[in-house]
Chain A
Amino acid sequence: MNLSGRRVGSAYVISVDEPRIDAAVAIQFKDQMRALTATATGRVVLDLSGVTFVDSSGLGAIVASMKQMDKGQTLELAGLMPNVHKVFELTRMNTVFRIHGDLDAALGRHAG
């Protein structure tokens, strides 16, 4: 599993090159998120458009990633596929994260 980050306007966008965020990669995910967000400021957008499956361990790792961020940072999510969105809804985590339909929606009015 590999995460990569890039700055787009005022946001820092993190992409996931792995279709499954599950128990097998949850710790890796959390560690890489910590490394990538260590120097980021402001909005961090996690682009999940390539992720087809998230289980409770993956969800826990995403929540942990948010909790380990600094006060000045926010973690937003973009591009949740239907079965991934369902996990957030069932656990009410959709009320905790700002969730955008896709990356363009997340960046649209902020990219300048």
Chain B
Amino acid sequence: MEIMHQTAENQVLFAHRFDATADSVRQTVQLACAALVAVGVGDDARGTIELVLAEALNNVVEHAYAGCAQGRIDTELRRAPGQVRIEIRDQGAPLPGGALPWCPRDGLADVRQSLPEGGFGWQLLVRLTRHICYVRIDGENRLTLVIDHDWWNAPKPSPS
């Protein structure tokens, strides 16, 4: 079991290309979750990865491809030592300013006064990931999200 985990570095657990719609994001996230369950990822960790993936993909649909009917998104989930890596590529608009929005990891202001109905997405991404890397190359957005994950404590090894 231990050896299996060591040799599984950077193994692609899931790869999918799909239309940039909220329905396709939902379907893709559910397929990714099935792939995670298949390699023994527990409920709590799966929930975290599920949320990060959904938030990042919906950002692409709502912002990069906003108002554009025919966008495509490529996404990959990789197993890396101590981590899960999510890679997302799209050909939509770049992030405003060419960079990730600033969002504090701690000390969020009291929200009761002016409750937002949006803007929770980046908050969740920042709080649930180890780091997020964004680059714009050749008209393409490439977003990498890294989530800490202890593969050693996975309940069962990869069946592959």
Question: Residues of A with Cβ closer than 8 Å to B?
Answer: 20, 22-24, 53, 55-57, 59-61, 63-64, 66-67, 82-83, 86-87, 90-93, 95-96
Contact = CB atoms under 8 A, between A and B. Distances in A.
B128 A90 contact: yes
B115 to A, nearest CB: 5
Contacts of A90: 123-124, 127-128
B26 A91 contact: no
A63 B112 CA distance: 11
Nearest to A64: B117
Contacts of A55: 51, 54-55, 58, 121, 124
B128 A63 contact: no
Nearest to B21: A24
B118 A24 contact: no
Interface of B: 22-23, 25-26, 43-44, 47-48, 50-51, 54-55, 58, 61-62, 108, 111-112, 115-121, 123-124, 127-128
Contact of B25 (A23, A59, A82, A96): A23
Nearest to A83: B47
A82 B43 contact: yes
Nearest to A55: B54
A90 B128 CA distance: 9
B22 A91 contact: no
A59 B112 contact: no
B22 A23 contact: yes
Contacts, number: 83
Contacts of B121: 55-57
Nearest to A68: B117
A23 B127 contact: no
Contacts of A61: 117
Contacts of B61: 23
A96 B109 CA distance: 13
Given A56-B55, A56-B120, A60-B118, A93 B44 contact: no
Nearest to B58: A23
Given A92-B108, A92-B111, A60 B23 contact: no
B123 A96 contact: no
Given A24-B26, A82-B47, A92-B108, A56 B118 contact: yes
12 contacts: A23-B54, A23-B61, A23-B62, A24-B23, A55-B124, A56-B123, A57-B58, A57-B121, A59-B120, A91-B108, A93-B111, A95-B111
A86 B26 contact: no
